[in-house]
Structure 1
Amino acid sequence: MAESPHREEKPRNRVVDSISRRAENALKEDYGKARVMASDAVQSQAYLYPIKGIFYFLAHRSLWQPLIDRIIPYGTLTISVIAAMFTFTYLPQLAVLLLFNGPLAVYSTVLLTLNESSILIHMISRTWILQEALMDTFDGTLVSRNATAVVQQGREVKPGSDPMKKLGKVFKKRFDKMSLTAMVRYFMYLPLNFIPVVGTIAFIFLHGKHRGKVVHSRYFQLKSWSESQRTQWLNNHTGAYASFGVVATLLEMIPVASIFFSYTNTVGAALWAADIESQNNAMVKETAPNLRQAAENAKEL
């Protein structure tokens, strides 16, 4: 005896309803996370610090010396990498992106090539050219903002009026170099650029989000925060660090001027750290004291 078609439809309808409910719940969860991130970013105003860094850097000539000392080797590296990338990778990538993006491929490929050039320049310069200079810029900015006590936890600070000349011997490790995981993650995100406009925006956001997680690596080192403290802080302020990272990434994507923005972004990160220290930022009213108390408790054990 043949089964009734109504009996077949009921299980099928239940499966469809179950999938629909799960999809709806997933969308609600993602929307909720996005709202929390957006609220965190707006409350902290972290996205403004890269811009503040530009004006602060321009207004304080004493911070210019590390940039002046590195401008020739960095400029040579930048021109060489961008020229090589556009010579050898632009046309092959344009041919691929034309299949996905149509006429927009010209612009998408330029952005992709600049992104690739930016990450290569970032990797090479942070490892061999700018590491010490950016650390000095970060520390010097903290000193100029009267956060000398923090800097003294990681290096000698001499008497004087010029914040850069006050910086002495370093006895706590330098900036973290770009990890292998970060490089792998970057290349995993590259295919997003095959999606017109939206894919490129998503790529910049994801790259900027992870870029934001390392902007305070020096600050965390100076504070001697454990890995768990860093993770807790970053998880509590995901939106703030993502917004800083996205703006910093966009600025450092600008050809030739990227070295300037590498320094101003470092200044901006230090200004942010100084505000955290002075609790002159809405994001630190509850979280920072808890982390400081946890650090003090750990020292007593």
Structure 2
Amino acid sequence: MAAKDTVKQTVQEEAASIQKMATDVARSGAYLYPFKGIFYFLTHRALWKPLMSKLLPTLTLGISVTAGMFFFTYLPQAAVLAIFNGPLAALSTILLVLSESSTIFMALAKTMLIEDSLVDTFDGTLVSKGETNLLSSERQVKSGGDPIARLGKLVSKPFAKFTPKALIRYFMYLPLNFLPVVGTVLFILLQGKKFGPQAHSRYFQLKKMSKSTQEDWVEKRKGAYTGFGVVGVLLEMVPIAGILFAFTNNVGAALWAADLEKSETTSPELRNQAKRVE
């Protein structure tokens, strides 16, 4: 009886935790920033430059990885998932292979092709939002020209966009996909929880946050970063187009960072006055 009560209590606690997380995600509105990033990117042509400079080799890599993964891994994984997921195995396998392809593709692309371009996109977005002071300690910012043209030499190397630890963690989570529907949802949720803070690695560097400060910062905004991360992961899972969303996610993360900066520099009294005017 005691064991039954313990299980029941644990389930209730987990349910309450998930409910609180969902509430925090909804209240934060951070899940909208990846979509804001898409719109901002599409309406600011100057921000296309870093992507366009790497477009052809990146698309070639994306097509090769995705086609290869479906050719070599779809049927074996579908056979295994059919044991656990039954008729849902086909859909689960497609999502799984897309996720695997995206992860491998992004790891290769961010390591070999687009890391500097993503940094330029993030920094260029900050410049376009007037946050040159935030950049000044880590990068030269020129006067005149479009936001990308104003970016000068990097003072220090940006944080790595993808690490071996992240890849290992990804494959540790893969078995969750054996659980029908719920497993895939949990898999994406766990990926999103890590993706969100990673999207602000450049922002943390610009703010000169220590590792412990970053952890405290993220913990206080766990729902916001999870919301941003889940949407970002789903967008980057789209075959081939995921590379475009990698750039728009960076734009969205920079827009969020710019809004955070504005909220920090606006006193509570002025914010209250603004709300009364509205």
- When the two structures are superposed, what TM-score results if normalisation uses the length of structure 2? 0.92
1:126 corresponds to which residue?
A: 110
Q: Give the SS at the match of 2:263.
A: coil
Contact 2:37 2:252 in 1 (8 A): yes
Aligned to 2:240: 256
CA contact (8 A) 2:161 2:198 kept: no
Q: For 1:109-148, what aligned pairs fall within 5 Å after superposition?
A: 109-148=93-132
Once the two structures are superposed, what CA deviation does each residue of 1:48-82 show, in whole Å capped at 9, x if it has no partner? 00000000001101100001111101101001101
AA aligned to 1:149 is N
Deviations along 1:181-213, whole A, 9 cap, x unmatched?
Answer: 211111111111111212111111111111112
Aligned residue among 78, 93, 101 for 2:85: 101
1:253 partner amino acid: M
2-structure distance, mates of 1:267, 1:161: 19
Q: Could you tell me the percent identity over the aligned residues?
A: 52
CA-based RMSD of the aligned residues comes to 1.7
Q: Is the 8 A contact 2:120 2:148 kept in 1?
A: yes
1:43 aligned onto 2:27 = yes
Q: Secondary structure at the match of 1:173?
A: coil
- Rounded to whole Å, the distance in 1 between the matches of 2:203 and 2:64 is 32
Amino acid aligned to 1:26:
T
- 1:125-183 deviations in Å (ceiling 9; x for gaps): 11111100000000000010111110112100000141111100101221324222211
Q: Which SS does the other structure have where 2:160 is aligned?
A: coil
Q: Distance in 2 between matches of 1:230 and 1:280?
A: 16
Match among 187, 190, 213 for residue 229 of structure 1: 213
* 1:274 and 2:258 correspond: yes
Structure with max Cα Rg: 1
Listed one character per residue, the Cα deviations across residues 199-247 of structure 1 (whole Å, up to 9, x for unaligned) are: 1111111111111120100000011001111000011111111110110
1:109 to partner: Cα distance:
0.9
Alignment-derived partner of residue 212 in structure 1: 196
2:186 to 202, 218, 227: 202
Unaligned runs of 5+ in 1: 1-15, 286-301
**What is the TM-score of this pair, normalised by structure 1?**
0.85
**Structure 1 position 79 matched with structure 2 position 63:** yes
Give the alignment of 1:187-198 within 5 angstroms. Answer: 187-198=171-182
CA offset at residue 100 of structure 1? Answer: 1.3
* Counterpart Cα distance in 2 of 1:31 and 1:272: 29
Alignment of structure 1 residues 18-57 onto 2, 5 Å: 18-57=2-41
Consecutive unaligned residues in structure 2, runs of 5 or more: 269-278
Give me the whole-angstrom Cα distance separating, in 1, the residues matched to 2:264 and 2:27.
12
Q: What is the CA deviation profile of residues 91-137 of structure 1, one whole-angstrom value per residue up to 9, with x for unaligned ones? A: 11111111111221111111111110000011111111110000000
Q: Which residue of 2 aligns with 1:293?
A: none
Which secondary structure does the structure 2 equivalent of 1:279 belong to? helix
Give the letter aligned to residue 203 of structure 2: Y
Instruction: Give the stretch that moved more between structures: 228-237 or 20-29.
Output: 20-29
Using the alignment, how far apart are the partners of 2:20 and 2:50 within structure 1? 38
Does the CA contact (< 8 Å) of 1:172 and 1:221 recur in 2? no
AA aligned opposite 1:114: L
- The 2-side partners of 1:141 and 1:22 are apart by 50
| Contact 1:135–1:174 (Cα < 8 Å) also in 2 | yes
Cα distance in 2 for residues equivalent to 1:32 and 1:95: 36
Instruction: Supply the AA of the counterpart residue of 1:250.
Output: L
Shift in CA distance, 197/34, structure 1 to aligned 2, threshold 3 Å: closer
1:142 & 1:44 partners in 2: Cα distance? Answer: 21
- Aligned AA for 1:164? I
Contact 1:173/1:221 (CA < 8 Å) preserved in 2?
no
SS in 1 for 2:215: helix
The residue that corresponds to 1:295 in the other structure is: none
Equivalent residue for 1:289? none
Partner of 1:178: 162
CA positional deviation for 1:280: 7.8
Letter in 2 for 1:165: A
